[in-house]
Amino acid sequence: MVKDGLFLQYSDFSSGQGQGAKRPRNGVSGLHLFLCMVSLFSFLSLVFIAHCSAVTLEEIKKKGVLRHLGIPYANFITGSGDGMDVELMSLFAERLGVRYEFVKTDWDRVFTDLSGKTFERADGGVLVAGDAPVRGDVAASGITVLPWREELVDFSTPVFPTQVWLMARADSPVKPLRPTGDLSQDIAGTKELVRGRSVMGKTGTCLDPALYGLERMADWVRPYRGPLNEIAPALMEGVADLVLLDVSDALVALQKWPGRIKVIGPVSEMQEMAVAFRKDSPELKEEFNRFIVDCERNGIYTRIVKKYYPFVFEYHPEFFKRR
């Protein structure tokens, strides 16, 4: 959209007409008219893109492609063309009889790219600010189900267990919490360990320290602005004393850098990850739910999880017992 200031700038520039130049009789310069037309065309293009995106299951099949919005993150999307969510969504596209297409996004844009709505976080919820192009049909990238996200999108049946852990470098004086058998008590004890120390997390995700009240307890909360795949290395480099990681990323980091980081304790209750859908795509969501049930029955789901997260069964056996 062309801002008023830009109109003024070009107006001043174009007003220096040479001698003998005639001003348009209607008072509108050719350049002004051109810029207005460009602005109108941009707006109509945005509306056209939003309305031409496939929404229903039938439309997606007719279009012949399933667009998977994803962010390289842990082993859900490795960035090398594979990952747990890449395999699941590729199989789902095959079930629908359409082509699979990966659409890269990031944590700041993923819900806008899916819902077609720009928004702001406010008072624990969201405030829709406007419209945006829809770039994908589903979003799957180890996405944790959170109340504010449910205001924007609908979630599938849970596909992966998670929890947020407090992590430290292996040489940190902070000692891992000894489990009490009471998760609420363990969470309270873990949170106490951030007092007098710096803690790093990422706003807008399940790793936001504010979700767990840590900004009121830590000596300093450092927002992490880089890719989540690089947050563990930032901890090892000493950017902060402590960091928040979810189970999936923590398990990958413990495997990738053995002996360099350690789990201190939980800061959240058990959480669940799921695939996100637009609220006007209920048929697509229900078809995916049926697909996951079939994958559980024929063993494909377990095989894929074991391939990318072999140790998760030890940490969260209750989740998989329900499958």
Indicate whether 173 and 211 sit together in one domain: yes
pLDDT, position 263: 97
Indicate whether 279 and 191 sit together in one domain: no
The pLDDT tens digits for 161-173 are 999 999 999 999 9
Give the DSSP letter of residue 23.
P
Tell me if 178 is assigned to some domain: yes
Tell me if 121 is assigned to some domain: yes
Indicate whether 152 and 246 sit together in one domain: no
Give the helix/strand (H/E) hosting 44: helix 30-52
- Alpha-carbon gap, residue 319 to 131, rounded angstroms: 37
Among 248, 269, 290, the domain-final residue is 269
The pLDDT tens digits for 15-62 are 333 344 444 444 445 555 545 454 544 444 444 444 445 578 999 999
Indicate whether 258 and 280 sit together in one domain: no
Among 269, 284, 304, the domain-final residue is 269
pLDDT, position 207: 96
pLDDT, position 321: 87
Tell me if 279 is assigned to some domain: yes
pLDDT, position 323: 74
Mean pLDDT, the chain, rounded, equals: 87
Tell me if 157 is assigned to some domain: yes
- Alpha-carbon gap, residue 153 to 151, rounded angstroms: 6
Indicate whether 198 and 239 sit together in one domain: yes
Indicate whether 157 and 280 sit together in one domain: yes
The token pair that represents 98 in the structure block:
């359409």
Tell me if 96 is assigned to some domain: yes
Indicate whether 109 and 88 sit together in one domain: yes
Among 231, 254, 269, the domain-final residue is 269
Question: Residue 4: which pLDDT band, with cuts at 50, 70 and 90?
Answer: very low
pLDDT tops 50 at residue 127 = yes
Q: State the DSSP string of 71-138.
A: --BTTTB-SSS--HHHHHHHHHHHHHTSEEEEEE--TTTHHHHHHSEEEEEETTEEEEEEE-----SE
pLDDT tops 70 at residue 133 = yes
Indicate whether 177 and 302 sit together in one domain: no
Indicate whether 95 and 243 sit together in one domain: no
The number of domains in the chain is 2
Q: The pTM is what?
A: 0.80
Identity at 168, one-letter amino acid code: A
- Alpha-carbon gap, residue 289 to 201, rounded angstroms: 32
Tell me if 11 is assigned to some domain: no
Residues in contact with 308: Cβ distance below 8 Å, sequence separation at least 6, in sequence order: 75, 76, 83, 84
pLDDT, position 49: 41
Share of the chain above pLDDT 90, in %: 78
Indicate whether 142 and 189 sit together in one domain: no
Indicate whether 198 and 289 sit together in one domain: no
The pLDDT tens digits for 233-258 are 999 999 999 999 999 999 999 999 99
pLDDT, position 37: 53
pLDDT, position 43: 46
Tell me if 22 is assigned to some domain: no
The pLDDT tens digits for 86-118 are 999 999 999 999 999 999 999 999 999 999 999
Residue 152: other Cβ atoms inside 10 A? 18
Tell me if 15 is assigned to some domain: no
Once rounded to an integer, what is the mean pLDDT over residues 219-228? 93
**Which residue in the block uniquely carries the two structure tokens 């803690």?**
199
- Alpha-carbon gap, residue 218 to 61, rounded angstroms: 50
Which residue range(s) make up the domain with 146? Answer: 57-161+272-321
Indicate whether 200 and 143 sit together in one domain: no
Share of the chain above pLDDT 70, in %: 83
Question: Residue 291: which pLDDT band, with cuts at 50, 70 and 90?
Answer: very high
pLDDT, position 8: 28
CATH number, position 205: 3.40.190.10
The token pair that represents 52 in the structure block:
């031409």
pLDDT, position 24: 44
SS3 298: coil
